[in-house]
């Protein structure tokens, strides 16, 4: 199978595509995937590390850029569409899969014009603009959450879930001892989140004053690492403070609870692993979609949510202490989160792609 996967702009768009590409490689001895993205360095870095071919088209997002820059983007669209036609002709894919982000638009439309079967995958519970526009141009629309269905105006929708890194689902090597300290993993995403970093340090300080023992695995992001590490030292706090967690599977395994943003990939990982969490949605996400994402778990009883405007160290400490003292409630929260999980999303999507080839 020769598959073009197109989209990007954020790692949250690319990582599900990578999971699908790896599942294609597992199933097809001669399976080849080509990623078509915009020209951000982040996109090429992620795909290079993952070991996949990548090419780019001249495309940028429109939303939030002002009318002058937005007009320039529209003027360039015919060129990005022509580039897409040339890439498809050169690679000769059997299928095209859009994974969200502006670069998916011209490529999926070009696939339609050239008669190549195509599909899109939406990670978030509130679909992005590109996917909302593309739903009528593609053969199938794969969604991660039931909540996103009402936002699509057309297309053949299939609930597949959001593909996650399969290494996170590896069997647990050793069970966490009951006697170990309550462990919290903190992450604001790969870039970190200053509001979460500051509130969590304050919360740790408040818990220490109350004589409560808590172990932290704290991913700060590169930009905040020095500040947070210094704050831990000044307050006499202990914890694993790192810019980026390389062994995410190990960190999840050790964590009794997770404090994080509410990106689609994070929500899908928490659900698949059945991890209780306190979610602080990024307040500037398009269409406030991180709040909508968080509600997927919150409404099931699988997470707590604190809006960033309400986030304080004292309030976070009180919430953490509540679950430190009530392990049955913590376990119930994890079970509720797991009820929303779809750990085989990559396999389900590839099943659909194979079915599209047979039609």
Q: Establish how many alpha carbons lie within 13 A of residue 63's alpha carbon, considering only the half-sphere containing its beta carbon.
A: 10
pLDDT at 353 over 80: yes
- Per-residue confidence (pLDDT) for residue 275, from 0 to 100: 97
Domain tally, the chain: 2
Query: Residues 236-243: contacts with CB within 8 Å, 24+ apart?
Result: 236/208, 237/201, 237/204, 237/205, 237/208, 239/204, 239/215, 240/216, 241/216, 242/217, 242/218, 243/192, 243/219
Do both 350 and 333 map to the same domain?
A: no
Give DSSP secondary structure letters for 268-300: HHHHHHT--EEE---TTSGGGHHHHHHHHHHTT
Give DSSP secondary structure letters for 219-259: E--GGGHHHHHHHHHHHT---EEESS-S-HHHHHHH-SEEE
**What average pLDDT does this structure show over 227-252?**
91
Contact 54, 47 (CB under 8 A): yes
- Per-residue confidence (pLDDT) for residue 67, from 0 to 100: 56
**pLDDT tens-digit map of 199-229:** 999 999 999 999 998 999 999 988 899 999 9
From first CA to last CA, the distance across the chain in angstroms is 15
* Domain harbouring 260, CATH code: 3.40.50.2000
Do both 148 and 241 map to the same domain?
A: no
Return d(Cα 75, Cα 238) in angstroms, integer: 54
Contact 200, 192 (CB under 8 A): no
Average pLDDT, the chain: 90
Tally of CB atoms within 10 A around 285: 17
Of all residues in the chain, what percent carry a pLDDT higher than 90? Answer: 69
Contact 195, 280 (CB under 8 A): yes
**pLDDT tens-digit map of 109-143:** 999 999 999 999 999 999 988 999 999 999 999 99
- Per-residue confidence (pLDDT) for residue 29, from 0 to 100: 86
Do both 129 and 265 map to the same domain?
A: no
- Per-residue confidence (pLDDT) for residue 179, from 0 to 100: 53
Do both 255 and 290 map to the same domain?
A: yes
- Per-residue confidence (pLDDT) for residue 63, from 0 to 100: 60
Pinpoint the alpha helices (H) of the chain.
Answer: 11-27, 41-50, 66-91, 104-113, 129-134, 194-209, 225-235, 248-254, 264-273, 289-298, 313-324, 327-338, 345-358
Q: How would you class 147 by CB atoms within 10 Å of its CB: exposed for 0-12, middle for 13-18, buried for 19 or more?
A: middle
Residues in Cβ contact with 317 at an 8 Å cutoff, skipping those fewer than 6 apart: 202, 203, 204, 206, 207, 210
| b/e sequence 214-223, b meaning 16+ C-beta within 10 Å | bbbbbbbbee
Contact 189, 261 (CB under 8 A): yes
Do both 199 and 138 map to the same domain?
A: no
pLDDT at 255 over 90: yes
> pTM score, two decimals?
0.88
Do both 90 and 142 map to the same domain?
A: yes
Instruction: Determine which of 237-251, 270-284, 311-325 has the lowest per-residue pLDDT on average.
Output: 237-251
Do both 236 and 348 map to the same domain?
A: no
Contact 332, 219 (CB under 8 A): no
Do both 132 and 268 map to the same domain?
A: no
The owner of tokens 């430190």 is 324
Tally of CB atoms within 10 A around 100: 28
Do both 73 and 215 map to the same domain?
A: no
**pLDDT tens-digit map of 143-157:** 999 989 999 998 899
Do both 153 and 173 map to the same domain?
A: no
pLDDT at 70 over 80: no
Query: Chain centroid to CA 70: how far?
Result: 27
Helices 225-235, 194-209: crossing angle, 10 deg rounding: 10
**What average pLDDT does this structure show over 253-275?**
95
What CA–CA distances, in Å, run from 41 to 11, 48, 211, 241? 12, 10, 46, 27
**What average pLDDT does this structure show over 250-263?**
95
Dihedral (CA of 308, 314, 319, 324) sign: positive
Query: Please, which pLDDT band fits residue 41 given cuts at 50, 70 and 90?
Result: confident
Instruction: Determine which of 9-13, 181-185, 307-311 has the lowest per-residue pLDDT on average.
Output: 9-13
- Per-residue confidence (pLDDT) for residue 61, from 0 to 100: 61
Instruction: Determine which of 34-38, 198-202, 244-248 has the lowest per-residue pLDDT on average.
Output: 244-248
pLDDT at 358 over 60: yes
Residue 254: domain span: 169-338
Do both 7 and 43 map to the same domain?
A: yes
Instruction: Determine which of 85-94, 169-178, 280-289 has the lowest per-residue pLDDT on average.
Output: 169-178
- Per-residue confidence (pLDDT) for residue 172, from 0 to 100: 60
**What average pLDDT does this structure show over 76-99?**
93
Do both 352 and 320 map to the same domain?
A: no
**pLDDT tens-digit map of 160-203:** 999 998 888 876 655 555 557 899 999 986 555 899 999 999 99
């Amino acid at each position: 199978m020769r598959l073009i996967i197109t989209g990007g702009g954020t790692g949250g768009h690319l990582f599900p595509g990578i999971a699908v590409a790896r599942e294609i490689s597992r199933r097809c001895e001669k399976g080849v995937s080509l990623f078509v993205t915009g020209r951000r360095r982040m996109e090429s870095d992620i795909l290079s590390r993952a070991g996949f071919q990548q090419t780019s088209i001249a495309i940028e997002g429109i939303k939030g850029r002002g009318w002058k820059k937005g007009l320039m983007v529209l003027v360039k669209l015919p060129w990005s569409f022509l580039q897409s036609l040339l890439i498809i002709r050169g690679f000769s894919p059997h299928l095209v899969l859009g994974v969200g982000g502006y670069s998916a638009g011209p490529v999926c439309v070009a696939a339609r014009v050239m008669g190549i079967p195509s599909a899109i995958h939406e990670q978030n519970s509130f679909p992005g603009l590109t996917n909302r526009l593309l739903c009528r141009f593609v053969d199938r629309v794969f969604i991660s959450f039931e909540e996103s269905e009402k936002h699509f105006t057309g297309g053949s929708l299939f609930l597949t879930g959001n593909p996650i890194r399969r290494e996170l689902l590896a069997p647990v090597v050793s069970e966490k001892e009951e006697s170990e300290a309550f462990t919290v993993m903190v992450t604001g995403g790969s870039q970190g989140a200053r509001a979460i970093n500051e509130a969590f340090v304050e919360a740790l300080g408040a818990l220490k004053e109350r004589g409560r023992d808590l172990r932290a695995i704290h991913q700060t992001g590169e930009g905040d690492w020095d500040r947070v590490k210094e704050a831990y030292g000044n307050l006499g706090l202990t914890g694993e403070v790192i810019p980026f967690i390389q062994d995410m599977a190990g960190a999840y395994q050790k964590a009794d609870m997770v404090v994080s943003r509410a990106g689609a990939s994070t929500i899908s990982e928490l659900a698949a692993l059945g991890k209780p969490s306190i979610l602080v949605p990024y307040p500037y996400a398009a269409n406030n979609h991180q709040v909508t994402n968080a509600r997927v778990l919150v409404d099931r009883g699988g997470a707590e949510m604190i809006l960033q405007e309400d986030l304080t160290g004292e309030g976070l400490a009180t919430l953490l202490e509540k679950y430190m003292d009530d392990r049955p409630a913590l376990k119930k929260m994890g079970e509720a989160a797991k009820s929303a999980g779809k750990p085989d999303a990559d396999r389900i999507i590839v099943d659909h792609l194979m079915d599209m080839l047979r039609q």
